[in-house]
Amino acid sequence: MLKSILFAIAITALTAFTPVQNVQAGPILTQELLDLDGNSFGVLTVDLASADEFGDITGWLNFELFGYSPLVNVFFIASFDVDDIYAGLTFISFDVSDLDDIFAFQGFFEGGFGFLDVFTTDAQYIGATEFTLSNARLVSAPGTLLLILAAAGGLLLRRRQ
């Protein structure tokens, strides 16, 4: 009996002294780049927590074009509607090249329509394509490790009984 009372007091004390986290991790947004026939030729993943208050993002977690990844960021900016993150990215502008320094990609997307130019790094034009984005896939990043640890502790206590 005394053991369970001490345990309840200890749990209450631990939750009282746990610091409140005022910044939550934001969701991670992934969208595929699709040509007009619906074939995927790239994928873009951004962390929405890195956006400013207007929904502008200047970096990515993963950006793959035609099988080339990671890419060197010469210029990149993307925007999303902060009131509707499930709508996905509304604007993208980028000028990137692959790490092997073979290809350079320049692209622009806004209002459901995008255009991509492909060059060699010697500025020789290779080709261009129009593109659109797939539906947004959002994965919420865990807001705190403490929540996961508390769940694991609860499972251990449950198993002990």
- Domain coordinates in residue numbering, the chain: 27-140
* Predicted confidence band of residue 135 (pLDDT cuts 50, 70, 90): very high
Over residues 59-83, mean pLDDT: 87
Residue partners of 68: CB distance under 8 A and separation at least 6: 98, 99, 100, 103
Summary mean pLDDT of the chain = 83
CA dist., res. 111 & res. 132, Å (int)? 9
pLDDT higher than threshold 70 for residue 30: yes
CA dist., res. 121 & res. 109, Å (int)? 22
pLDDT of 95-133, one tens digit each? 988 878 888 899 999 988 999 999 998 889 999 999 999
38's tokens = 């619906």
Query: Around 106, how many Cα atoms within 13 Å sit in the side-chain half-sphere?
Result: 10
Phi, psi of 107 (to 5 degrees): -145, 160
Reduced to 3 states, what is the DSSP secondary structure of residue 55? Answer: coil
CA dist., res. 86 & res. 43, Å (int)? 17
CA dist., res. 130 & res. 119, Å (int)? 15
pLDDT at 25: 54
49's tokens = 């927590």
Specify whether the backbone of 82 is left (phi greater than 0), alpha (psi in -120 to 50) or beta: alpha
92 in Cβ contact with 108 (< 8 Å): yes
